[in-house]
Amino acid sequence: MRRSENGRFEMIGSREAVRVLYEDNHLLGLYKPAGMLVQGDRTGDYSLLEWAKDYIRARYAKPGEVFVGLVHRLDRPVAGVVLLARTSKAARRLSEQFRERSCRKLYWAVAVGTPRPAEGALTSHMVWNGKRALIVPAEHPGAKEAGLRYRTLERRDGLSLLEVELLSGRHHQIRLQLSSIGCPILGDRLYGGRAKEKTGPIALLAYSLTVRHPTRGEAVTLVSPFPGDWPWPRGKGAEARRGVDSSRL
């Protein structure tokens, strides 16, 4: 990975870059490439949060420290929409929406196998063991409930294109729960998905996020572009489903 001369994050080879999807005085919506950290860690790799601060500092000629509030995350190998707060008021109000689960988070996943039934809901209890998520009984110490809804959009060549609505926000939740029904995500070696390499992107895209604007109150929907290496053909069957209904908020 590297930061290019114009300040954009790029993944060497795929040339994926951060993209601005939405921007106003309170919000900054970004496309995060797979492989990029949302927040810095011990690796020292350049993160989306750092990119956002650099972007605001350069775009608005802001000297010194820049406020950017992190209100949710994506796993490193996952691409898609990340919404950041540009003010403390926005950060507080968005955090409340995520905590109360009043925002709508939709993902697309290419899964190995065919889920039965083709559409349904999954509820389980999860813990994190420091390396991966595990499904455990509800009474297990530290267990947290996790829920999602899924529907099959298309099938071909032993794979299924799924739309997943995340009802909670547990670490590795979609990856674990789809694997638990025998449909791991393509490329996700950690949870049993087929992959050519030990590390790299997985076929999971955070493709839509709908929230209430923190000051104006109306629904704001951000939709992700497809990653350059998205494994599903971009035919009319997939494209026709990119419309997002925010009326449920």
pLDDT of residue 5: 44
Bin 98: left if φ > 0, else alpha if -120 < ψ < 50, else beta. alpha
Mean pLDDT to the nearest integer, 143-170: 95
Q: In the predicted model, what is the mean pLDDT of the chain?
A: 88
Residue the block writes with tokens 């529907």 = 151
Write the CA distances from 148 to 46, 78, 129, 228, integer angstroms. 31, 17, 21, 27
Mean pLDDT to the nearest integer, 105-119: 96
Distance CA 75, CA 166 (A): 14
Q: Is the confidence at residue 3, as pLDDT, over 70?
A: no
Q: Quote helix, strand, coil % in the chain, to nearest 5.
A: 15, 35, 50
pLDDT band per the 50, 70, 90 thresholds, residue 116: very high
Distance CA 181, CA 122 (A): 9
pLDDT tens column, 4-43: 444 443 433 345 899 999 999 999 999 999 999 999 888 8
Distance CA 69, CA 219 (A): 19
Question: Which range is least confidently modeled, 208-212, 226-230, 238-242?
Answer: 238-242
Active site residues: 75
Question: Whole-prediction pTM value?
Answer: 0.86
